[in-house]
Amino acid sequence: MLPSIRAAFERDDSERGDSLDKARLCAELTKPHILPPEGWNDGETLPQAFSALASRGITNLEGRLLLALFPTGQPFFRLKPATKFKFDPEVDPSLLQSFEDKLRIHEMIMLAKLEKDDSDGGTNARRAGFRSRMRSAISQLLVTGDVLIQMTDEYQIRIHRRDNYVVRRSTSGDVMYMITREQVDSLSLSPEQIEMIGLDLETEMNTPAYDRMQDLYTKCEWNPMSKRWVVEQQIKDVTIVTSEEKVSPYFAIPYSLPPTGHYGRGIIEENLGDVRAINELTERLLDFAALSSKHLFALDYSSQVRPQDLALPTGSVFQARVQGGQVTDVGILRTDRAGDFGVVQNVRESLSRDLSKVMMMEAEQLPTYERASRLHVERVAMELEGALGGVYAPIADALQIPLVERLMHLLERDGVMPSLPADSVEVEAVTGISALSREGDQQKLLQLLQTIAQMGPDMMQRFDRSLLLDILVRHSGVYEPGLVKSEEVMQQETAQQQQQQIMQTAGQQVAQSGGQALVEAAMGQMENPNV
């Protein structure tokens, strides 16, 4: 008998080693709310780091990654015909163009679904905006090194906290299964499910909400035989839902996945030594400052001044030994630690500069999303790829493409968009490194055309101008169905222009001669233009 999903979760949770502990430490030094300490309750105070430098660095990287991955007002993906169809000589180019036009419409529907406000009056579920959810996911990814994103059947984006899911990967890094743990209200279940887990509906209706919460375990496992994802949910070790999915509703995304590892390492863990050192040195500097601001009075053993005299209010009079207008038997305790203070400060500043470079805090200031141009977005992506050690591109592929594939699957399932033939469409990311690659291809094509044009008009005639136009528009990132006219539309417009010219010529001739025969000849030419 297979172990319950709960038992499998607890087993994998215990086998994480110090992976989860390190993730908690990274969160404690940056953004503690992302992954609170074990056993933490909402009413308790979260630990706070002495230095906010790493936290500001995470915030900076969040904005840059969000801008590069999901720029406002710009598509971040493109649907294109599968390569096997695109380069098949038996496929009619006009049909292929018509298919691409339909894909543009699909893209607009999908983008509108992501951008629309998900809130509705039929539920009290908190539905933050798409980019807000993605920023939360990016933040968890950077701090803890791993994030699990879910797109529900209701198109809702959910982010699972690191300690509430486990992942098992193959030696090649492919996900074998994922298990999530969450709490649900028993009244959110169907009456049949309530009965299955041994609860009484009437009793649950009279129970306070806090006491109705149940631990729900969900397992999403890849079945290599059926080529499907098997999703199973259990409460109290009782299965309440079982289904198969063509596209996984869960996406496990690591920041930097170690060999044979199951969880990623974040940028904070990769620079944990510097982050901890900066935090500890900041604490020492604060101690120095507190010590320097503290005033202690010292009295000579023979002094007539009493300790309580030093606490007298301003303007009070007391007896003391005075020489030259100064009380000679009273002094202030001073610590000669200025040199130590300077050493600590210099080391901290050096480490801070290094960490700021890693987190791109010295880079060009980000523009607001409303005025960020496409070129700026692409430049930010290239900077991220260099600064993050080549992890940006894998993150983009692991996040953008599965998200689009899941969204397209749901829209086709619900009949919002017509279903496309199996294996006929490929999803391509059009932001970041991919966009820069297309930009380079476009520049090469323009340079080629300039070179060919210098050879004379005869050489230009050997190129298919219609195809050249399609390629240039495609590389430009402009997505407007009908922007480029099809061959059928061009032929219709040419025929209409010919008819208008014939009518105009016939009218002029009739005005000049008044001959009915010319009118008849013109009408005959309209019916048969080739004559």
Q: Is residue 409 part of a domain?
A: no
In a domain, 508, yes or no: yes
Residue ranges of E strands in 246-358? 250-254, 296-299, 322-323, 326-327, 330-333
Q: How far apart are CA 307 and CA 330, in angstroms?
A: 10
Q: Output the pLDDT for position 405.
A: 92
If DSSP codes are grouped into helix, strand and coil, which group holds residue 146? strand
pLDDT in tens, 262-290: 999 999 999 999 999 999 999 888 887 77
- Looking at the domain assignment, is residue 454 inside a domain? no
Instruction: Classify the C-alpha dihedral 443-445-447-449 as positive or negative.
Output: negative
**Residue 221: closest CA among 213, 231, 233, 211:** 231
Question: Which residues of the chain carry a pLDDT beneath 50?
Answer: 117-122, 124-127, 369-371, 479, 518-519, 522, 526, 531
Residues sharing a CB contact under 8 Å with residue 315, sequence separation 6 or more, in sequence order: none
Run of H or E residues at 219:
strand 213-223
DSSP class of 189: S
Q: Rounded to 5 degrees, what are φ and ψ at 418?
A: -65, 145
**Nearest-CA neighbor of 141 among 30, 224, 231?**
30
Question: Nearest to residue 245, comparing CAs of 334, 177, 189, 182?
Answer: 177
In tens, the pLDDT along 344-376 reads 888 889 999 989 888 888 765 555 544 455 556
Note the pLDDT of residue 275: 94
| Structure confidence at residue 127 (pLDDT) | 46
86 within a domain of the structure (yes/no): no
Amino acid at the residue 164: N
Cβ neighbours of residue 89 closer than 8 Å, sequence gap 6 or more:
none
Domain count, the chain: 2
* pLDDT of res. 372: 55
pTM, two decimals, is: 0.75
Q: Using the 3D structure, point to which of 324, 344, 366 is the last residue of a domain.
A: 366
Give Cα 139 distance to the centre of its chain. Answer: 9
Per the structure block, which two tokens stand in for 57?
């660095």
**Cβ atoms 182, 284 nearer than 8 A:** no
Q: Give, in degrees to the nearest 5, the angle at Cα 33 between 252 and 8.
A: 40
Cα–Cα distances (Å) from 172 to 258, 261, 288, 356, in that order, read: 11, 9, 51, 33
The reported pLDDT for the residue numbered 404 is 92
**Mean residue pLDDT across the chain:** 80
In DSSP terms, 251 is beta-bridged to 149
Say if residues 278 and 54 touch (Cβ distance below 8 Å): yes
Query: CA 104, 107, 108, 109 torsion: positive or negative?
Result: positive
pLDDT of residue 75: 79
CA distance 409 to 247: 7
Domain hosting residue 507, numbered range: 487-527
Which pLDDT belongs to residue 290? 74
**Is residue 333 a part of any domain in this protein?**
yes
Query: Does residue 259 sit within a domain?
Result: no
Is residue 60, in this structure, part of any structural domain at all? no
Q: Which residues pair with 180 in a beta bridge?
A: 165, 218
Per-residue model confidence (pLDDT) at position 320: 72
Q: Specify whether the CB–CB gap between 190 and 201 falls below 8 A.
A: no
Residue at a domain's end among 366, 391, 412: 366
pLDDT of residue 369: 47
Q: What is the crossing angle of helices 433-453 and 392-413, to 10°?
A: 90
For tokens 């010219």, name the residue. Answer: 501
Of 366, 389, 409, the residue at which a domain comes to its end is 366
For residue 104, what pLDDT is reported? 82
> Has residue 343 been placed in a domain?
yes
Whether 381 and 68 have beta carbons less than 8 Å apart is answered as: yes
